[in-house]
Structure 1
Amino acid sequence: MRSRLAPALVAPALVLGAALPATAAEPRPDTAGATAPASPSAQDIVDALPKSVYTGALIRRDGVGATMGPVVPDAYFRIGSTTKIFTQTVVLQLVAERRIGLDTPVRAYLPTLVPAMYERVTVGRLLDHTSGFPRPARTPGPDDGAGWWLRSVTPTGLLSASFAAAADRSETPPEPGSVQQYNGLNAFALGLIVEKVTGHSFTHELRHRIIRPLGLRHTSLPAADDPTIPSPHARVYVDGDEVTEQSPYPWAEGGMISTAADLDRFLTALFRGRLLPPAQQKLVFAVPHASSATTNTSCADGKACFSIGGLMRYKLPNGQSVWGKTGSRPGWDNGFFATRDLGHRVVYSLNPTGADSGITYIQRILIASLMD
């Protein structure tokens, strides 16, 4: 699932315009000693969103929520690729237990799925998106609106189809570790490795390791044949057609459903080191020394921005880095971000009309929510 932020993270488009309230800033010489403006509240940020771009919105800033349109604060939503952070946290827990090795080749776990030409790709390269795996393949059949994901495709089937399609194109993968290319295929492989080493379903491990210990009572990974979403939830549309109940986005890559409060709790626990021991906690924020395939990721200036823990490093206009993840499904644009010290954090779920890409507004939400 591609990121919902623009290829350049720090650009003139990021300047906070009149559409959102001003954030606190260093006083100018002629206003030295004046009281800095208060940071905008979640309600301020929601109220500034254009209704021509969003039919509904939910923003939770520093634990306080606000909504726009027919959305309630405890609404459920499909979190899309934000699922990857849950997946990678489970993998890092298994690394801590020495059941998965960061430097172990992926083929050691999935020998019949991963071709020999990828024999030097390690688990660590899956985690930081420098595996060089091919893009997920489109497979024949009716598209369900998720692009390359079809109802009949299994995780193993998608990997097999993707490697076969790359072979048909005579693709030569980049050197493992050299280029960061945000790629959902990595998450499918990670989910399959979790199942291989534990002997349990990925869903079981997710519940056992994260959902139940944190008390995330409104978070789940639906079965592949379950298109429903719990109530309350927004009704979402694409091109005039309702897509609220849709075939779930795939599994360990982007299939989860949650709420803003649950995601806030997960984000806080992850940043505070409640889910991982110290050695693996450092990896949550460790970004590889690699170039970025900027046409495929949200990394700026040709530099990698996704960490081994799966978090995106996003630079605010004041130079401060914040960390989080975006995720989208037809009808939903979601994400969560926070400062490293959790001084500020934000969870958002937006329901786009399709009249605008919405990327600029997502960037503005982050700036307004996370800058002092």
Structure 2
Amino acid sequence: MKNKRQTGRGVTVHDVAKLANVSIATVSRVLNKPDNVNKEMSERVLKAAAQLGYTTNSAGKALRLARTRTIGTLLPRLDDPIFSELAHGIQETLFAQDYAGFLQTSGYDNRKIFDAAFRLFNRGAEGLLVFGRVDDERLLEFIEKNPIPVLQVYSYLEGHPLPSVGIDNARCTQKIAELMLRFGHKDIALISGPTQGNDRQQSRLSAYEQMMRDHDLNTVVQVVQPGYTINDGGLAFRRIIEQNPKVTAVMCNTGLLACGVLSECRKLGIDVPRQLSVSGFEDMSFAPLLYQPLTTLSVPVGDMGRYAARAMIASLEQGESLTSMQFETSLILRDSITVPPKASDRAA
């Protein structure tokens, strides 16, 4: 017979308070009004609650008895078109099925998403959709102890203990690199988003480095910091050409970074694609409208969101097991790529 520490059943606020060595009132404040409690105390209580598998009585009862018909979604941020498109696909599907959706931003580092996820669970979320791979050990431990369905969205992840719906990020990067190589480029640079706790950027960076090694070519990489903007893409490109003036092509791991590169090229008087070829990742709606239409990958982000939401609802309604699903991408060739320039035509 399992005890309450293993299952979370029968756990009370008294148990959490005892384990965290705080008062019951403090536990209540942390779980219901976290902004009124200092960070150290809050982390102590949340750790104890997670260890015991405890959620507040209202949320717990709803999950066991009444059904909240609410599904939570964790996204890095909302001001990126890709995240917004995924959120739209999820939300419209939930609405059509008489479900409500909670959206919570949690940053790019998926090693540190437990607090955001726990807040959704504590508000009654019956299931959780997470953008990217779950790397947070506390969250994985909590999920193991509690029967809450979780689905990773955007990245297709073989071998992970949780099911995933998305694309093979490494293979996508290989497609773009192969295109650059077919055009004859050898001095190819990569601009990456933040890699810590970010499986998408890790996979794309590793794939680029492997492709360059396979063809006995040098790697040129710039990694921008979390919270990056279009301007950061331009600054990363400026560093690349200052340190590696022979570069003839730049692969960007996101569409926003590619926009930054194109903007910087215009400022510097660099002709795209005659002097420099540029590619993006994820075909944002405005990619063909840029001053130099952008070569990129079409990623069915909205379809992923709709599929994930339907799968989660089926799991909650019919008890169907959540399974992994790989989505395909297509390469969109536009005017931002051509053959490498002659030495005399290269940007100074």
**TM-score for both structures, normalised by structure 1:** 0.22
Q: Which has the larger share of helix?
A: 2
Higher relative contact order (CA 8 A, sep 6+): 1
**TM-score for both structures, normalised by structure 2:** 0.23
